[in-house]
Amino acid sequence: MKKLQISDYVIIGLILIGLIIGGFILFKNKKISGLPESVDKKVYFQVMIRGVSITDTQLPFKDGDEAFISIRNVPYTKLKITAVSFDRRKEVISANNQNGYLVVEDVSVPFLFDFIVTLEDNAKLTSDGYVLGGNKLKLGIPITLEGPKYKFNGTVSNIKSAEEVLQMDTPEEQQAAK
């Protein structure tokens, strides 16, 4: 076996110093876990469910019920329903008034409803938005609500933290404000 020269020790030392400096530069701004920083917050989100056919005289869900949800077809958990608003399907017709149109109930489909269901849960607030059960919660994300008598598909139409929930309006309140 050959004896190591002083130049060999210098080269080994420079390689080790280079690895240490490279490691510091690479991991300077990263956390050890590699996950973005997050804060747990209570979040309320609304799910818009359009075109639900119901001939029963009772609504399938009401305030205080629990519904099992799936986010992007990934089962999540049961969540509490905090508010439900619904309206019969509407149609816009031409009219001779100041607006030039009139919104009336569509009598051709008397059992067709649109629902807005508000759900609550604790979510992680990251720099990229809210995360529920490992899924990012963003407007337009498909959500399935399932209960003992129903399974409806909808999309997220509004997301608010508990601090902002007082500003979450129903469509009727939004129309009244205009």
DSSP, collapsed to helix, strand or coil, labels residue 61 as: coil
Q: Distance between CA atoms of 47 and 146, rounded to whole angstroms?
A: 13
pLDDT at 59 over 70: yes
**Encoded tokens for 76:** 């999540």
Query: For 9-167, where are the E strands, in sequence order?
Result: 39-53, 66-71, 74-88, 90-94, 101-105, 112-126, 129-132, 135-137, 142-146, 151-161
CA–CA separation, 123 and 141 (whole Å): 15
- Give the domain ranges of the chain: 1-30, 39-167
Question: 161 near 42, Cβ under 8 Å?
Answer: yes
| pLDDT tens column, 126-155 | 888 888 888 889 999 999 999 988 999 999
CATH, domain 39-167, list 2.20.28, 2.60.40, 2.40.30, 2.60.120: 2.40.30
Strand partners, 131: 124, 136
Q: Are strands 39-53 and 66-71 parallel, antiparallel or unpaired?
A: unpaired
Cα separation, 54 vs 92, whole angstroms: 22
- How is residue 102 written in tokens? 């009139």
User: pTM to 2 decimals?
Assistant: 0.68
Give the gyration radius of the chain's Cα atoms: 27
Whole-number percent of the chain with pLDDT over 70: 85
Q: Where are the alpha helices (DSSP H) in 70-131?
A: none
**pLDDT by residue (tens digit) across 69-99?**
999 988 899 999 999 998 888 888 888 877 7
DSSP H or E segment with residue 177: helix 171-177
Q: Are 106 and 91 in contact (CB under 8 A)?
A: yes
